[in-house]
Structure 1
Amino acid sequence: MPSTRTFALLGVAGLALGALALPSAASAATAGLVRVDQVGYLPGDTKQAYLMVQSPVSDVSFDVVDSAGHTVLSGKVNGTSRGVWNTQYKAVYPITFTGLHATGTYHIKVSGGATGSSPDFRIADPASLYRKAIADGVAFYQVQRDGPDVIAGQTGRKPAHLNDAKASVYATPNFEPDSDVITDAALKKVGGPVNVLGGWFDAGDYLKFTHTTAFGDAILFATERALGSAAPSTLDAEAHFGEKWLDQMWDAQHKTLYLQVGIGSGNSAGTFNGDHDIWRLPEADDADDDPADTFAAVHRPVFLAADPGKKISPNLVGRVSAAFALGAQVDAAAGNTAKALSEYGQATTLYAMAATASPPAPLVTALPNAFYPEDTWRDDMEFGATELALASQALGRNASGYLSDAAGFARGYLANDTGDTFNLYDTSALAHADLIKALAAAGNPNVGISRAALVADLKRQVKTGADRAARDVFHAGGIYNDFDVDSHTFGLLTTQALYKKASGDGSFDNFATQQRDWLFGGNAWGVSFMVGEGSNFPQCMQHQVDNIAPGRAVGAVVNGPNNVSNFEGGLGDYQDGMVKCPKGGADPYHQFSTVDSRFVDDVRSWQTDEPALDMTGSAILGLALQRELCS
């Protein structure tokens, strides 16, 4: 469920690296843990696993064993620890097996001063390595579908929230400080009915946000554009499904953008509930006759991004315009000109409504704003203007105005907003890379920003992660003592691919491999943070459908490790209707916690174990662009 999720650029994730010399001899073999990328590696990758032990060891050997039980590669484990992980695991040794090139399924065994065995992993060509994870990410978006056009899939989804077709619009409510609890005695109706049927649930709950949907939809279209004929067969339909809902949320005739559907919590008086107050399958809402659940279930409220006809928060305008314009590019390339022109029209009319002269403070994202606090908008406007320029070029329209705008917003971003990397809150990497392409297609006109400046900022973003990874025990480029480490880390894969394509610089290739490794199990917890990828992934997500329905929400990406301070109040009680998971409330990953970072696989753990559109979308695009580099 939405929470305050921000990215702290500064700060150290995990414990600092230090060279830890080995003792002269080990008195007995020590049981160790071998962490590896459970999805696998490309034949040409620099390949590294990690041996975690509770005390320093020496004279450790490793064997790579194939699926038939044959040893195909042997060597010595590096004799110098990358550092202390926590008070229980005081040494982490790298295992380098780059010499393994043949495709197949393998595992690593260590012997000598330490013993242990890794999960299975593959060596595979790019198509085989990336195909399943990308397709599974799209499948998660299918799980998130709302309305009548659901796809049953593995979770047996059924139509839900059909009353969204005739929803009422309400005034923005008042909230308790730092809370989603409403202080008003009642919601004030100001309009409707409006059709907000369909769309995607944002996360483990059933709220729908224009802000996150636009990011997710833009990512799906960008992925389709990048992969072309190699895209999953489900991708085009899913991208257009999300766009259809955005089309409903933007009423061009009345110059009105709707912000969200649903409320998180009810009011402090307890007279009505919110979405987060009940745990159920979504189809149950249509038959919920409890008067207290009216706004939570059967008649969900709709809220405005701005008053009708008034200028709209530019972060919203930029990303929604970008989603429409990316759809126009994809449809123009497919020969569907009529559809492309319609999408282009939606993008241009919304783009003109951006409140760039006086952006609201705070920027509008969700209700309450603390669900998704954002403080940059120039990246989104650069994104929107850039994609409109590319769409204009694809449709034979004049792109010069949008190119000039995009350049201006890029200059503003570089002067005021640098510090983050690609994720829900910073879309500049994709905007920069596409602006480079749009300017080149226009003959590189003088618009006040150079290709070199855009490439340099892409490099700055990659280097931010690479510098951090060089210091980290497991080469993590993200910050795993704050929210959104998985989304940011997949975002680093996106940005490295965009930078390499723009510059030809392959010096960060190994860094990208390290990030993929960390995400898919080469981390202290030994967890692949994308459900269904690898052999050990979250089993108890905070996701109502995944928790209650049969089957799994395969392809979901969870938040990942988070700051221990977020657990100071414990995990809380189980809500009525929750399937207790894990049984008995066990916490097998507690032994891998540090003084400031913790991962908990528990249905109550919104802090680490809730998936969302933006997290999974970041994975889809990051993996797709890495695959594209290999084509």
Structure 2
Amino acid sequence: MNRYAATLLLLVPFVLHAQIFVNQAIFPPDVPKIAVVAGHTDDGVFDVVDAAGHNVFRGKLGPAQSVNDWAPNKKFYQADFSTIHKPGSYRLTVDAGDTLISSAFFTIGNTDWARPLISSILHYYNQQRANTPTELEADKHLLLFGSDKRVDLHGGWCDASGDVSKYFSHLAYANFMSPQQIPLVTWSLINTGETLQKQLHQWGLADSLTSEALWGADYITRSLSPEGYFYMTIFTYFKKDPAARRVVGLRANSVTTDEYQCAFREGGGMAIAALARISRWHKNGDYTAQQYLDAARRAYAHLVVNNTKYDDDGKENIIDDYCALMAATELWIATDSSYYRDQARFRAGKLNARMTPAGYFISDDGRRPFWHAADAGLPVVALIRYLDKEKEAGYRNAAIQTIRQALAYNLRVTNEVDNPFGYARQSFLYKGEVKDGFFIPHENETGWWWQGENARLGSLATAALLGDRLLKNDSMELYAARQYSWILGCNPYSMCFMYGWGQQNVPYMHSNYGHGSQRGGISNGITGGKDHGDGSGIDFRTEDNGNEWRWTEQWLPHAAWFLAAVTAMSRE
């Protein structure tokens, strides 16, 4: 049995012996550090051993916890070694009676702990560029669906290790599920470039990051139509023939339409935000900094008038609000215009009004709780970015109260049940009832789309870390650290989802034009049970008759949100 097949049976050995789950990559020196021990232990203690075999720390395991939804009748214990700050390579050991159980090796980093992670993510995005000769030539002459008109939309990044299509967003037809894709990647790169400017120069990564951010900004600018909307999707139909590529709108089961105009929630808002923000760098790619700003302003003006025409149900919802807030905020910062100030305040007010006494946002004009498989933290991130510019006390206090309620809810819903891994839980509407759970419901508005939620974890970690700086709540730092560690291996499958890191990765995935899995890319990850409509249970599969992409495929937003979280964790 190979190591990947073994992961499918990973929960079975809990019956026989203890097992240790830990972040297999790297810990920052000063953040919470928690591993999880499953199964029987002899004396309730654990040891931390360095690379030379010396015992450097002995700790007491936390109280037993159970997650019957995942592993009935099994016990989990937390091993907290947060007091270790010394850089080096370590492993945990536990006496399980007749044997000594060891964890994977992991590293505690120095002050430059983020450098290799960011370097890997930049490598991933560079390799995901749609820049092979075949792609570049085809994308300079793309047909608009249902038309004989051709447009030049070369550049950008391939969406996933198994999909070389290019998306501002997808799932637009489902209205409440649209993730932010290429525009989010671009904004996240720009955010890191600004937040860690000094460190990036010290680490020799500034030029690489600038190049990647400009690559994204150039594609976004090129994607702005003469009418003022952004083209949403370049779709391959999963064919190798480059002539099959089209500019399309997408519905379920890869049905294509001419509804390719981006609303705020369909990538338009984050595209505007990215262009406005990078214009302040005063750097030129294929376009000038002034052209980036002009494009952002023209696109914003167009969507103020036309947004609901492009929303598939003709109505705005919370995703429009937080994406438009980000767009207006970045334009306000870039121009200091009172118009964009008022627009940002309007959108912040709409987000504030969506907050419930329970602490979660409402997505629509009814009772649907806001949950999102990729961008669950983006409403809070958008409000905090707005506060970087907003100085008037009344508006600030309203936004801060919303942020405080949202983050307190995240802590409450996550911690109100046994949760040894600290996995971020959420509320959702399922068959007319509001439920709380670990994973998103598989029966949702898309009719088919559910997958591992590593982007969601990264977005919530980012929101928590930024919120910790604003509210001075150390519980948010712990919450964020648990999401970070889950992605890097402290999960029930001992799978490090960042490719090229840790002891165990998902299998390599091939793709067209020589693309595929790349070092630094992050896979979808763990889900609820495959046949559980409400997302209950737990599942991870490396083979599933062609559907293993739900767990193993790398996807642009995962690395974008992980980068944002690492940036927030490492900022001075």
Using the size of structure 2 for normalisation, the TM-score is 0.77
Offset of residue 38 of structure 1: 1.3
Aligned partners of 1:507 and 1:78: how far apart in 2?
17
Aligned partners of 2:62 and 2:473: how far apart in 1?
29
The partner residue of 1:485 within 443, 449, 453 is 453
Structure 2: runs of 5+ lacking an equivalent: 1-14, 170-180, 251-256, 355-360, 363-369, 427-437, 441-450
The partner residue of 1:508 within 472, 476, 487 is 476
| Distance 1:532-1:469 versus aligned 2 partners, 3 A rule | farther
- Corresponding residue for 2:339? 401
- Corresponding residue for 1:225? 194
- Corresponding residue for 1:396? none
- Corresponding residue for 1:243? 217
> What's the CA shift string for 1:433-467, capped at 9, x where partnerless?
12111123xxx3x7xx6212222333333333322
| Distance 1:606-1:311 versus aligned 2 partners, 3 A rule | closer
- Corresponding residue for 2:11? none
The Cα RMSD (Å) is: 3.3
| Distance 1:391-1:364 versus aligned 2 partners, 3 A rule | farther
| Distance 1:160-1:64 versus aligned 2 partners, 3 A rule | same
- Equivalent residue letter for 2:152: N
Contact 2:41 2:96 in 1 (8 A): no
Aligned partners of 1:599 and 1:141: how far apart in 2?
25
| Distance 1:109-1:311 versus aligned 2 partners, 3 A rule | closer
Contact 1:61 1:112 in 2 (8 A): no
| Distance 1:508-1:141 versus aligned 2 partners, 3 A rule | same
Written as runs of structure 1 = structure 2, the 5 A alignment for 1:44-443 is 44-53=30-39, 56-84=40-68, 86-87=70-71, 90-113=74-97, 115-128=100-113, 130-148=114-132, 160-171=135-146, 189-192=147-150, 194-203=151-160, 204-211=162-169, 212-231=181-200, 232-233=205-206, 234-251=208-225, 253-263=226-236, 274-275=237-238, 278=239, 285=240, 293=241, 297-303=242-248, 313-315=263-265, 316-329=267-280, 331-332=281-282, 339-355=288-304, 359-360=308-309, 362-363=311-312, 376-393=319-336, 399-416=337-354, 418=362, 419-420=370-371, 423-424=374-375, 427-440=378-391
Contact 2:263 2:311 in 1 (8 A): no
Correspondence 1:564 to 2:526: no
- Corresponding residue for 1:553? 518
- Equivalent residue letter for 1:220: L
Aligned partners of 1:559 and 1:507: how far apart in 2?
26
Per the alignment, in what secondary structure is the counterpart of residue 196 of structure 2? Answer: helix
Aligned partners of 1:257 and 1:76: how far apart in 2?
56
Aligned partners of 2:371 and 2:305: how far apart in 1?
21
Correspondence 1:534 to 2:475: no
Per the alignment, in what secondary structure is the counterpart of residue 621 of structure 1? Answer: helix
- Corresponding residue for 1:456? 401
Offset of residue 626 of structure 1: 0.9
Contact 1:65 1:71 in 2 (8 A): yes
- Equivalent residue letter for 2:222: Q
Per the alignment, in what secondary structure is the counterpart of residue 38 of structure 2? Answer: strand
Per the alignment, in what secondary structure is the counterpart of residue 352 of structure 1? Answer: helix
Using the size of structure 1 for normalisation, the TM-score is 0.71
Offset of residue 85 of structure 1: 6.5
Contact 1:311 1:355 in 2 (8 A): no
- Equivalent residue letter for 1:313: A
Offset of residue 206 of structure 1: 1.2
- Structure with the greater alpha carbon radius of gyration: 1
Contact 1:133 1:533 in 2 (8 A): no
Contact 1:82 1:94 in 2 (8 A): no
> What's the CA shift string for 1:357-412, capped at 9, x where partnerless?
761475499xxxxxxx986201111110000011114xxxxx21101101101111
> What's the CA shift string for 1:324-356, capped at 9, x where partnerless?
111112x14x699x9322211110001001156
| Distance 1:353-1:620 versus aligned 2 partners, 3 A rule | same
Identical positions, percent: 20
Contact 1:376 1:425 in 2 (8 A): no
The partner residue of 1:39 within 25, 42, 47 is 25
Offset of residue 244 of structure 1: 0.9
Contact 1:321 1:348 in 2 (8 A): yes
Aligned partners of 1:326 and 1:364: how far apart in 2?
30
| Distance 1:374-1:68 versus aligned 2 partners, 3 A rule | farther
Contact 1:529 1:560 in 2 (8 A): yes
| Distance 1:511-1:311 versus aligned 2 partners, 3 A rule | closer
Offset of residue 91 of structure 1: 0.8
Offset of residue 595 of structure 1: 6.2
Contact 2:69 2:537 in 1 (8 A): no
Structure 1: runs of 5+ lacking an equivalent: 1-28, 149-157, 172-188, 264-273, 279-284, 286-292, 366-372, 394-398, 569-593
Aligned partners of 1:335 and 1:300: how far apart in 2?
29
Contact 1:325 1:387 in 2 (8 A): yes
